[in-house]
Chain A
Amino acid sequence: MTVPIIIEFERAGGYAGLSLRNTVDSHFLSTEDAEELGRLLNEAGLPELKKEINLPESSPDQFKYTLRIQMGEEQHLIQLAEPQIPSSVRPLLKFLTKRSRYKKENKDRP
């Protein structure tokens, strides 16, 4: 992994109405996690990924995700809403959600 990656992640909505927010910075990930993040981003199809997927109308209690991604000099804003999330993106969301759970604000820094 040579390109630094910073992702500002937000998951909003849901039955509980609890938001998750986290910033994941590859500089502060283990080598293994940083490589996995890079792989997941590739699988998700950046930069070809559309900026909005099924966002306009939200069904009740479903999650909406916002990803502000900086990869080197490139910046991407991706917004997605359940349930129409591409299967290629789900592993990336799972990775980010897991690192954001049960902490109201969390930064992957030592």
Chain B
Amino acid sequence: MRASRSLIEWFFFLSAALCGLLTLALFLLMFWFGLPLLGEGQTLQLFQGRWNPSQGQYSIYPMLVGSLSIALLAMLFSLPLSLGTSFLITTLAPKRLAGLLLDTIRLMSGIPTVIYGLVAVFLLVPIMRESLAKGNGMCILTAAMVLAILIAPTMIIFFVNALRSIPIHFILAADALGASRVDRLIHILLPQAWPGILTGILMGLGRALGDTMISLMLAGNALAMPQSVTDSARTLTAHIGLVIADDFESLEFRSIFACGMVLYIFTTIGAALARFLNQRLPTGS
């Protein structure tokens, strides 16, 4: 029924198609380059043992542990901070202060990551070095602390949106029954807003896993498997940034594609989960 599409309308479609195809191409590219590794029966080796190219060991397992521990620790620090701040903004603080706080948080999300890293290297790392009395101050803990501050604005904005989208009549009903502000938060807002909050957590986790500069600058980048949070560690992202191989055929180089694939898979799962949450679970059920 539609008349023939004009050139401009084709351009719209082709742009969308180009972006979609490139997304797929990205994955295929990594797969292609990482394939020889997997093909030679070394898939398992990738995830066991140590990284020691001179001995032919290309396990990215220590990096995986590094990534997960920094991200999860950062989330552990950041979640209460973000939840608390978003409660503050939506309910506890007076309107003007809340608005100011939200604007500041928004502005925070515009601060370049590398600047967080720079200031932390010269401010936080010496402090950590002193208080931990071991290592040079660059460890999982340091990186996690700064990462927590980095991902907080993202999560806060999600949380605030979720909390603010609760229909007002629920809140009025609770208030009319004599609920305090904290009661309102615990019994009405949180249960109703939890899909949005969960999405925010996923977004924050995705950002934490995908960040390169903080861990590159602050986590120490040691190749050994970290044994505690005060150990130096290397993340998948930092590993990609650090391996500068000359031989593009080498297994060493190909292993960073394995890192890339692992990251891609993680973030894809996260994105799919977030979509599922947004679509299937209605706010207010």
Q: Do A and B originate from a single complex?
A: no
Seen from chain B, the residues whose Cβ lies within 8 Å of a Cβ on chain A are none
